[in-house]
Amino acid sequence: MSDDRMEERLLGTEAKDKGSLFGKVWAESKKIWRVTFPAMLARVTTYGVFVVTQAFVGHISDTELAAYALIQIIGLRFANGIILGMSSATETLCGQAFGAEQYHMLGIYLQRSWIINLVTATILVPFFVYSSSIFKLLGIEDDVAEAAGNIALWFIPIIYYYVFFFTIQMFLQSQLKNAIIGWLCTISFAIHVLLSWLFVYVLDWGIPGAMSALIISNWLGVIGEFVYMFGGWCESTWTGFTWAAFADLWPVIKLSVSSGIMLCLELWYTSVLVLLAGYMTNATAAISAFSICLNISGWELMICLGFLTGASVRVSNELGQGNAKAAVFAIKVILGTSISIGVVFWILCLVFGRQIAYIFTSEEDVAEEVSSLSVLLAFSILLNSVQPVLSGAAVGSGTQSVVAYVNMCSYYVIGVPLGVVLAYVAKLEIQGIWIGMIIGVATQTAVLSFITYRMNWDKQVNKAKEKLHRLFLERSEDHGESSTTLNS
């Protein structure tokens, strides 16, 4: 019950129109950060493990850096998109079960997701085993494709790590146990930096050392989740392994597949762009530079995705409370906070554009390519600070289906085709691909801004009330049926 009281304090409606504007902004900011910080910490450190690995690999050789980039951003993101998307069914089902106080079902739903995702991960393994041949068929240079094939084998344990990490994370989040996830991810990140330094620089194990550090640190985080879950901290929601997990799998499969497809289309956007970079004149340097900039942008995006969570929670809560003005106020505060952080990173990228490259590589040609993209990278980071907040507001108001269509059109109808034209027809090469990406994201941001600005928030309040009323009636009917069955 203490968790419930904490959440009520955390998600309580925005103060009435009493007091100064500064006071209201401060009160809202405290609520936002209580929701946002754990999610942000988990995302930044989890993504940071792969960025740190890229930095160590980049100082081994130029070819190995390009190979790692191909596998991480194309191969691993392909697997990540599918498994993360399918794991999102766990979030939906566990959240509903927790809200309905059917606590024992959370453990059953978690085990069902493990079964489905373990099968999915096993199906994906051949793509990594034969990745070298696949990249050669796609026209990637032979030396880069061969190196990518060797590194891909090291990523197979990471695929199975995703199966447990994503699902347990969503299992815990549905119970409001966000803090433990953030701390476990932070500890894993610290261990990873230490192991990478020890294996690559001290012991000079090269690629095997860098990849071993990646595998060990990631799996230590999962082991921590298992210890927390099995150790009695989830007493009411984890009651042990059960054969019931093998029953009624088909509805979970359908929900998992639909979620997976939608998320994959969004995550694969940058993967397509990296693949296009593989056809540049100096493909090795182009792939390496493009992936370095993408990972820097992606790492900063993890901070902003924390604000997506905050926006989703605050908006949905205020709409549920029937307070449209407070929902709009929350969006403004979150957007202002996110943009302020984005401006700081934008300035840092403009000032230290060339120096950033040397964190990841010692090769001058790669550093030159990164330097040529630094201004574009800075503006990508600035856009990152706006788009997730608007997406979070859409999720909180229940209009994510509209956002999905906006994303697909912006990325695949505008961004990718324009990038191809600028890169190969206008001869802008890697800069052309990145400009196409920026225009795609800018289009998405502009459309989402218009939708958010024009949204009738009072209407969204009424929709939220209707959903809650429907849910109340359904639960009342369910309780009535249960009572009848017990009495009979």
402-415: pLDDT as tens digits:
777 887 888 889 98
- Residue 415 · residue 440 · CB < 8 Å: yes
**Long-range Cβ contacts of 106-109 (<8 Å, 24+ apart):** 106/171, 106/174, 106/175, 106/234, 106/237, 106/238, 107/171, 107/234, 107/237, 107/238, 107/239, 107/240, 107/242, 108/242, 108/244, 108/245, 109/171, 109/252
At residue 53, the pLDDT reads 92
User: Given this model, what pLDDT does residue 315 score?
Assistant: 78
- How close are the terminal C-alpha atoms of the chain, in Å? 33
pLDDT of the residue at 264? 65
Higher pLDDT, 467 or 392: 392
Rg (CA), the chain: 23
Question: What pLDDT shows up at residue 127?
Answer: 92
pLDDT exceeds cutoff 50 at 472? yes
Residue 157 tokens, joined: 């344990």
- Tell me what the mean pLDDT of segment 311-316 comes to: 75
Q: Residue type at 124?
A: L
Amino acid, single-letter form, for residue 267: L
pLDDT score, position 158: 94
10 pLDDT higher than 60: no
Kindly report the average pLDDT of the chain as a whole number.
Answer: 80
Distance CA 406, CA 274 (A): 22
Tens-digit pLDDT profile for residues 334-384: 999 999 999 999 999 888 877 888 888 778 888 888 888 888 889 989 988
Q: What is the pLDDT of residue 4?
A: 44
Q: Which of 381, 436, 384, 447 is nearest to 414 (CA)?
A: 436
Cα separation values, 198 from 192, 202, 210, 322, 395, Å? 10, 5, 9, 55, 43
CA 174/CA 176 separation, integer angstroms:
6
Check pLDDT > 50 for residue 484: no
Amino acid 15: pLDDT: 43
User: Which residue is associated with the tokens 């540049």?
Assistant: 280
**How high is the pLDDT of residue 488?**
42
Tens digit of each residue's pLDDT (9 = 90 or more) over 86-99: 776 676 667 667 76
Of the pLDDT bands very low, low, confident and very high (cuts 50, 70, 90), residue 155 is very high
Integer Cα distance of 77 and 415 in angstroms: 19
pLDDT of residue 399 exceeding 60: yes
Confidence band of 7 (pLDDT split at 50, 70, 90)? very low
As a whole number, mean pLDDT of residues 301-322 equals 77
pLDDT bin (cut points 50, 70, 90) of residue 25 is confident
Burial of 360 (0-12, 13-18, 19+ CB in 10 A): buried
66, 283 in Cβ contact below 8 A?
A: yes
List strand residue ranges (DSSP E) for 224-338, in order: none
- Across 173-205, b (16+ Cβ under 10 Å) vs e yields bbbebbebbbbbbbebbebbbebbeebbeeeee
Residues in the chain: 488
The DSSP secondary structure of 384-425, one letter per residue, reads HTTHHHHHHHHHHHT-HHHHHHHHHIIIIIIIHHHHHIIIII
The whole-angstrom separation of Cα 393 and Cα 462 is: 16
| Angstrom distance (rounded) from CA 486 to CA 488 | 5
In this prediction the pTM is 0.75
Q: Is the pLDDT of residue 462 over 60?
A: yes
What pLDDT is attached to residue 210?
94
pLDDT of residue 265: 64
The pLDDT value recorded for residue 439 is 93
Contacts of residue 24, Cβ cutoff 8 Å, sequence gap at least 6: 14, 15, 329
pLDDT of residue 63: 85
pLDDT of residue 56 exceeding 70, the answer is yes
pLDDT in tens, 172-226: 877 767 788 889 999 999 999 999 999 998 999 999 999 999 999 999 999 999 9
Average pLDDT of span 69-75: 84
Between 257 and 172, the more confident residue is: 172
Cβ partners under 8 Å of residue 76, min gap 6: 50, 155, 158, 159
Least confident of 53-67, 123-137, 297-311: 297-311
Give the C-alpha separation, 130 to 117, whole Å: 21
What is the 3-state composition of the chain as percent helix, strand, coil, each rounded to the nearest 5?
85, 0, 15
Question: How distant is the alpha carbon of residue 99 from its chain centre?
Answer: 24
Give the per-residue pLDDT at 482.
42
Would you state the pLDDT for residue 256? 62
What average pLDDT does range 296-308 have in this prediction?
83
Which comes out higher in pLDDT, residue 206 or 397? 206
| Mean pLDDT confidence for 9-23 | 56
In this prediction, residue 203 carries a pLDDT of: 92
pLDDT digits (tens, 9 = 90+) for 272-287: 777 777 677 777 788 7
pLDDT at 154: 95
Predicted pLDDT of residue 468: 54
Tokens of 53: 């690995």
* Residue in the block written with tokens 């566990």: 94
What pLDDT sits at residue 3? 46
Q: DSSP assignment, residue 235?
A: T
Q: In percent, how much of the chain has pLDDT > 70?
A: 81
